[in-house]
Structure 1
Amino acid sequence: MATEIPELSHPDRSDLRLTDVLFALSDPERLAIVRQLAGGPLEMAQCHLSDPSMPKSTKSHLMKVLREAGIIRNEPLGRGRRLSLRRDDLEARFPGLIGSVLSASAET
């Protein structure tokens, strides 16, 4: 009998807080994940970290912080998870922020 992957909670657009978003983007590994998702949705297994020896639990925690801040959407997809950048929600709440962060991070 197959077990279903649970849905995770995501904050509504109106509940996104600038301080939470900026905190989540302040970590280099989380920012690297956001840069990967800027190109389009990915399966969680396709997102890679700069340190491949990082424990799976750490990667899960990074994803949790991004999801709880409202930066990414993490949804069940078969036996895995699909991650996507909530660009429209971020742009609606904080116009220009995500584009500026992605542009600035690409220059470094």
Structure 2
Amino acid sequence: MTLYHPPREQIELADVLNALGHPIRLKIVRSLAEQGECACSAISLDISKSTATHHWRVLRESGVIRQQQSGRTIMTSLRREDLDARFPGLLGVVLGGRSPELAAAAGHPGGDTA
């Protein structure tokens, strides 16, 4: 089975934001950020298999995740390096943290004000 993954330079912000704009997909991304690479079945979604497949596909085709067949299991990982290269700081904001630059701009502690 060959799965489509856009090359880094073709990952578009609108596609990534659309993918991250759904609560189920955001839950998947947060789980991958915490767990690292894992089987799709390791993330409990409490939705039908066909709906879950749709959400995995949207994340993969937007460039947010990478999926690879490993025997009968599909292993999934967050494309953190690619996303950070294309959209610096985006994942930090989406995952609930703030980049030092954003914290400083907002006047919050933890940002480098120099």
Alignment TM class, shorter chain as reference:
0.7 to 0.9
- Deviating 4+ runs (over 3 angstroms): none
CA deviation after TM superposition for structure 1 residue 7, in Å: 2.3
% identical aligned pairs: 50
CA deviation after TM superposition for structure 1 residue 71, in Å: 0.1
- Which residue identity lines up with residue 90 of structure 2 in the other structure? L
Q: Which has the higher contact order (CA 8 A, sep 6+)?
A: 1
- Rg comparison, structure with higher value: 2
Match of 2:2 in 1: 7
- Which residue identity lines up with residue 48 of structure 1 in the other structure? S
The CA deviation string for residues 7-55 of structure 1, in whole angstroms up to 9 with x for no partner, is: 2010000000000000000000000000000020110111111xx2x21
Match of 2:41 in 1: 45
Structure 1: state its 5+ residue gaps.
Answer: 1-5
| TM-score, normalised with respect to structure 1 | 0.86
Cα RMSD after superposing both structures: 0.9
Match of 2:101 in 1: none
Equivalent pairs, count: 96
Separation in 2, partners of 1:48, 1:70: 22
Match of 1:65 in 2: 58
